[in-house]
Amino acid sequence: MSSKTLKKAVSLVCAVALILCSVCMTGGAEVSAMTADEAKEKLQDLQDELVAVNKELAKAKDAIEEARERAKTYTKRVEIVKEQISILQESIDAKKEELSVKQQELDAKVKEHDDTKDLFKTRLRAMYMSNDVTTLSLILGANSFSEFLVAAEMQSKISKHDTELIEKLQNEADAIAYQKEIIEGELASLENDMEILEDKYSELAALLQEANEDLTAAEAYKQVTEEDYDRVVAEMQETQAEWNELMGTGMYGYVGGYFAWPVPGFNWISSPFGWRTLYGQANWHGGIDIAGAGIYGKPIIASNTGRVELVRYYTTGYGYHVMIDHGDDYWTVYGHMSSIAVSEGEWVAQGQVIGYVGSTGNSTGPHLHFEIRVNGDRVDPLNYLNYDYEF
C-alpha cells in the first residue's frame, strides 16, 4: 500500500468515526469531554490532591528515615550483646573446664583417701588375724614384757600414722570440695548473667525485627504514594493539555489559588521589594529577601504548583536558583540556595521542598531571594503571598 492510499484509508476511517460520533451524540452537541471552566476546576482539584500526596510522600520518607535509624541503632545494640554473649560464653567454658579439672582433682583425692583407708583396714585386719602380729600374739609371743611394750607402741605408732594420713587426705578432699563449690557458685552466677544477656538479646532482636517491618511497610507506602504522585501529575498534564486546547493557547493556564510563604517558619524580611540603597547606591530590588537566625539549610518550598522551568548552579548573581512556571505567565524565582532538590521539567506541588536556604552567588549572608513575576514583570510578592498558609 502506498503512503497516499494509506492516507486515504486513514481519512476514510476518520470520516466514518466522525459520522458515528455525531450519530451517538444526540442533537449534534460539541464533541468535548469538559468545558474550559471544568478543566480549570479539575486542575485545581488535582493541585490540591498533589499537595496532599506530597505530604504523604514526605511522611513516608520521614517514616523510612526513622525506621532505618531505629534498625541501625538496634543492629548495633544486637551486635554488642552478641559480642558480650560470646565473651561470656568463653568465660563459662573456661569455668566449666576449671570445674572439670577440680572434679578430677577431687576424684583423685577421694580415691587416694579410700585406697589408704582400705589399705589401713587390711593392715589392721592382718594385724589381728595373723598369729604373729595380733596384740594377743604380741603379748604371748613377747619374750619379755618390755619386748611386748615396744611391739605394742610400734603398732600404736603405725595406727596413729595411718589415722593421721587418712584424716589429712579427708581434709584435703574437703578443701577441694569447698573450692569446687566456689567454682560452681561462680559458674551459676555466669550462667545467670548469660540468661539476662539472652533475654536482652531476644528483646533487641524483636525490636530490630519490628523496625525492619516498619521500614518495609514505609517503603511499600512510599511506593504506593509515588504511584499516586505519578498518576496525579500525569492527570494534571493531560487536563492541562486539554484546557490549553479548549482555550486555544499553547501555554498552560495558571494553576490558581494563592502563593504560599516559601520558607516556613522564617518571616523576617531583611530587604523588601522596591528601591533600596546597596553599597551606597540606589538599587532596584526585584524581590524580597527572607532571612533570620538559623535559616541556613532550612527547606524552601514551591510557593505554588507548577513546572520547574529552570535550575541553575551559578556562583554569581542569583547563585544556585530555581524558576518555576505556574502557567498563564506567572513565575516564581528562588535565589542563593545552598542546594537544589528538583530538576528541570519536573512538576512540583505547592509546599514541596525544592531546595535549601544558602548564601550562594551575590549574597552577603544566608537568605532566600524570592520573586514573583507576572507577565514578565517582577511584582511585590507581598501582594500575592498568603501568610496563613503553613506547611
Question: Judged by CB, which is closer to Zn ion: 257, or 272?
Answer: 272
The upper half-sphere exposure of residue 340, i.e. CA atoms within 13 Å in the direction of its Cβ, equals 23
321 lies in the site for Zn ion, by CB under 5 A: no
Minimum CB distance to Zn ion smaller for 95 or for 369: 369
Distance, in Å, from the CA atom of 214 to the CA atom of 73, rounded to the nearest integer, reads 14
CB of 369 to Zn ion, least distance (A): 3
**Cβ-proximal residue to Zn ion, closest one:** 369
Read off the C-alpha cell for 220: 511499600
Number of residues that bind Zn ion (CB under 5 A): 2
Measured from the CB atom, is 58 or 374 closer to Zn ion? 374
| Closest CB to Zn ion among residues 289, 325 | 289
State the Cα–Cα distance between residues 295 and 318, nearest whole angstrom.
17
Q: At what angle do helices 36-129 and 145-247 cross, to 10 degrees?
A: 170
Q: Within 297-316, which residues bind Zn ion (CB under 5 A)?
A: none
Identify the three-state secondary structure at position 32: coil
CB of 357 to Zn ion, least distance (A): 12
Among the listed residues 102, 298, 321, 369, the single contact to Zn ion using CB under 5 A: 369
At residue 314, φ and ψ (nearest 5 deg) are: -85, 150
Taking alpha carbons only, the member of 209, 212, 189 closest to residue 201 is 209
Site string (260-289) toward Zn ion, x via CB under 5 A: -----------------------------x
Minimum distance from residue 325 beta carbon to Zn ion (Å): 21
Report how far residue 19's alpha carbon sits from residue 11's, in angstroms, rounded to the nearest whole number.
12
- We find the least distance from the C-beta atom of residue 382 to Zn ion, in angstroms, to be 14
371 makes contact with Zn ion (CB under 5 A): no
Q: How far is the CB of 270 from Zn ion (least distance, A)?
A: 9
| C-alpha pair distances (Å), 121 with each of 25, 116, 387 | 127, 8, 109
Residues at the interface with Zn ion (CB under 5 A): 289, 369
